[in-house]
């Protein structure tokens, strides 16, 4: 299963920190790439630095408009999941989501255009209360993968954490640069 994320409509009063965290959750929870509109280019540098140190080929792709990418993904047979507090309860759709092949998950910032609700194969609510795109995305990715994402290897890592009961244990790989 390939999972990708589309972050749409960052608020003009900049939402950089939230958007960075949406990208970090996507990367750490097993998505392959994130598409973003209206974003500060520094976010890409931040995530690329994290890739360099902690591994993975996770990609940030800047886009002008969300519609062409969602249409392209539909043509590529991805199912579109739109995270919205108005959507179907995650508890009742998670099993169906796990049976799907490739998924693209849409998260909003401010008011999401009506068209996205119609384009989506699933509108999914992580509960029916407003909260945060970061938490909604993390919970959705966890329900779909049932924790398997935390066993994933991150290729090319210079540092690797060895989980430990007490303190910090980090394996450091020697590289020339
Ligand atoms: N009022 C906005 C709307 O009508 O879409 C909500 C904006 S909310 C701050 C930003 C994003 O967080 C939403 O677009 C949605 O993707 C996500 N989100 C917030 N609460 C959610 C929930 N309970 N379930 C799923 N997604 C949620």
What the chain holds in terms of domains, given with CATH numbers, is 2-172 (3.40.1280.10)
Model pLDDT for residues 115-151, shown as the tens digit of each residue: 999 999 999 999 999 999 999 999 999 999 999 999 9
pTM of the model: 0.94
Tell me the CA–centroid distance for residue 130 and ligand 1, in Å.
6
Over range 165-169, report the average pLDDT: 96
Tell me the CA–centroid distance for residue 87 and ligand 1, in Å.
10
Average pLDDT taken over every residue of the chain = 94
CA distance 115 to 128: 20
Model pLDDT for residues 76-90, shown as the tens digit of each residue: 999 999 999 999 999
- pLDDT at position 176 is 59
Pairs from 158-164 (Cβ < 8 Å, separation ≥ 24):
158/52, 158/53, 158/54, 158/55, 159/53, 159/54, 160/54, 160/55
- pLDDT at position 13 is 57
Task: Answer whether 22 contacts ligand 1 (Cβ < 6 A).
Answer: no
- pLDDT at position 116 is 96
Model pLDDT for residues 90-115, shown as the tens digit of each residue: 999 999 999 999 999 999 988 899 99
Mutational pocket test of ligand 1: of 17, 83, 120, 134, the residue with most ligand atoms within 8 Å of the beta carbon: 83
Task: Answer whether 127 contacts ligand 1 (Cβ < 6 A).
Answer: yes
Tell me the CA–centroid distance for residue 84 and ligand 1, in Å.
5
The token duo for 53 is 């140190």
Tell me the CA–centroid distance for residue 108 and ligand 1, in Å.
6
Q: Are 10 and 36 in contact (CB under 8 A)?
A: yes
Over range 13-33, report the average pLDDT: 91
Residue 67 pLDDT greater than 80, yes or no? yes
């Amino acid at each position: 299963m390939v999972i990708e994320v589309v972050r749409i409509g960052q608020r003009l009063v900049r939402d950089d920190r939230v958007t960075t965290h949406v990208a970090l959750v996507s990367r750490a929870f097993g998505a392959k790439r994130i598409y973003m509109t209206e974003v500060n280019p520094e976010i890409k540098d931040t995530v690329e630095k994290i890739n360099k140190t902690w591994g993975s080929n996770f990609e940030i792709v800047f886009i002008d408009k969300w519609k062409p990418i969602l249409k392209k993904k539909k043509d590529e047979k991805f199912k579109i999941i739109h995270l919205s507090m108005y959507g179907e309860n995650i508890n009742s759709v998670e099993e169906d989501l796990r049976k799907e092949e490739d998924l693209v998950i849409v998260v909003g910032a401010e008011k999401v255009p009506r068209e996205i609700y119609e384009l989506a194969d699933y509108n999914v609510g992580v509960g029916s209360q407003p909260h945060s795109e970061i938490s909604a995305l993390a919970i959705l990715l966890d329900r779909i993968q049932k924790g398997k994402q935390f066993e994933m290897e991150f290729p090319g890592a210079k540092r690797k954490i060895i989980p430990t009961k007490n303190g910090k244990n980090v394996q450091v790989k020697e590289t020339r640069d």
